[in-house]
Amino acid sequence: MASRNIPIKYTEIFINNKFVKSIDGKVFSVIDSANEQKICDVQEGDEADINLAVEAAKNAFRFGSPWRTMDASKRGSLMYKLVELASRDKDYLARLETLHNGKPLAESQADVEFSIGCLRHYAGWADKIHGSVIPSDGPHMTITRKEPVGVVGQIIPWNYPLLMTAWKWGPALATGCTIVMKPSVNTPLTTLHMAALSKEAGFPDGVINIVPGRGSTAGNALSKHMDVNKIAFTGSTAIGKKIMKVAAETNLKRVSLELGGKSPLIILPDADIDEAVSFSQDAIYVTMGQCCSAGSRTLVHESIYDEFVKKSVEAAKKRKIGDPFEKDVNHGPMVSEKQFKRVMSYIETGKKEGAKIETGGNRWGTKGYFIEPTIFTEVKDSMEIARDEIFGPVQLIFKFSSMEEAFERANRTYYGLAAGIVTKNIDSALMFAQKVQAGSVWVNCWNSQRPQTPFGGYKESGFGRDLGEEGLNNYLETKTITIRVPQKNS
């Protein structure tokens, strides 16, 4: 088993390339969710700390600053240096991620690789962002110029702390913005380590600032700050709505939101059942279901339903639960006691609503926030567990009779983040891809993402896109410059 004796190097707020204590001296405890023991105390930022961080980012973005006058290719070089340093520390970062997040070490290692790839992808974009020349009527020449939006506030969740850091930093840095990021109080440690690496890489003072704190205080202060030009948020739909309201009531700052989901995975009768079971469990049990794009609604054709349920139960029972540092463990704890209680509450609600538990539904062990892989059948679309985002290891298996019915029910949700289908029929796959209301559609796979592929949602799953070229648009303004051209020689 990999050692969980990991040195904690950074526990303070990061402003202007310095680690500092919070102004009022408050701290919060970071807990190891596998054993409920305290890992360390971290300085807790509040409105006053956010104000300092925004001032640093604003100064770093001022016209004529080292960051603003830096050649675009130099920005890319700094990002490549950050990639090198993260690659150097990737084993440490993966272990640190597992320690304070609870996901199995293999998952954390994959997240680190994706994070490095994301930063590398955007480093390559830094000197390739440009405007265009537009034909305009009359004696004019018109050009457009792409400019960074300015100081950006970034608020990230606890389920993918390192990955979300990379997803948000990458396009912001490539476009030339400056950053104030608020990581979750549950999982600030890998983001703080990345902040230290950014200083080592040579980023100028104030370009990257990290203020760990609570959403109600630090997050709210960042969202309403009049000198913040944009908020990028990944988290729950409820909080996303609050951020939009605050942004509208202050300076109409730009907002991009990647929010919740209740994503459907449709299994057609021509699917290979063993393969479909594997896809469906990858979809719901990754990060123990604490994933916004989790395939939490599995819709199975009635002709294969019984066999699919039987094999799903067998597969769920084979998942190895335990210490996420232990070899071959693929099911760790919930991130916190709060999340554990939330998921267990939904399981109890499902029972009361009349859904049938085929396996799981219980706490595992006596220490740590572990919940068994759980499967509900006999679920109705009207049930609370079928409508709400549970955000835990709870698979709901529904039965359908026709493809038209399945497609209609797939869209019967306020969310629209992801969707998938398992079939050997390309016509069925293409029809589903066109009809389903979701930002990502996966055919015979799930959660297949790359730094190049845009990710975001329809409906109450948010708007704006992370990743790929589209991810840059969140951080750019388009300036139109029209020049009158004399028609006669002077």
Contacts of 243 (CB under 8 A, 6+ apart): 155, 219, 223, 231, 233, 255, 257
Q: Which pair of structure tokens corresponds to residue 166?
A: 């990379």
Is position 258 annotated as part of the catalytic site? Answer: yes
List Cα–Cα distances, 148 to 63, 111, 145, 430, in angstroms: 12, 28, 10, 37
Strands (E), 149-250: 151-155, 178-182, 208-210, 230-234
Q: Which pair of structure tokens corresponds to residue 268?
A: 């057609």
Q: Which pair of structure tokens corresponds to residue 305?
A: 């339903």
Backbone angles phi, psi at 256, to 5 degrees: -125, 135
Sheet holding 13-15, edge to edge: 18-20, 13-15, 208-210, 178-182, 151-155, 230-234, 254-258, 462-463
Q: Which pair of structure tokens corresponds to residue 406?
A: 């399945």
The span from the CA of 77 to the CA of 70, in Å, is 11
Q: Which pair of structure tokens corresponds to residue 152?
A: 């950006």
Q: Which of 118, 146, 124 is nearest to 73 (CA)?
A: 124
The span from the CA of 188 to the CA of 23, in Å, is 18
Cβ neighbourhood burial of 205 (10 Å; 0-12, 13-18, 19+): middle
The span from the CA of 336 to the CA of 391, in Å, is 12
Sheet holding 133-134, edge to edge: 133-134, 140-148, 476-484
Q: Which of 352, 399, 346, 354 is nearest to 374 (CA)?
A: 346
User: Of the residues 258, 358, 389, 460, which is catalytic?
Assistant: 258
Q: Is 375 helix (H, G, I), strand (E, B) or coil?
A: strand
Report which residue type is found at 205: D
The span from the CA of 114 to the CA of 125, in Å, is 17
Backbone angles phi, psi at 45, to 5 degrees: -80, 150
Cβ neighbourhood burial of 320 (10 Å; 0-12, 13-18, 19+): exposed
Backbone angles phi, psi at 184, to 5 degrees: -65, 150
CB of 310 closer than 8 Å to CB of 278: no
Q: How many residues does the chain have?
A: 490
Q: Which pair of structure tokens corresponds to residue 27?
A: 């701290």
What are residue 148's DSSP bridge partners?
A: 476
Q: Is 121 helix (H, G, I), strand (E, B) or coil?
A: helix
Name the residues annotated as catalytic: 258
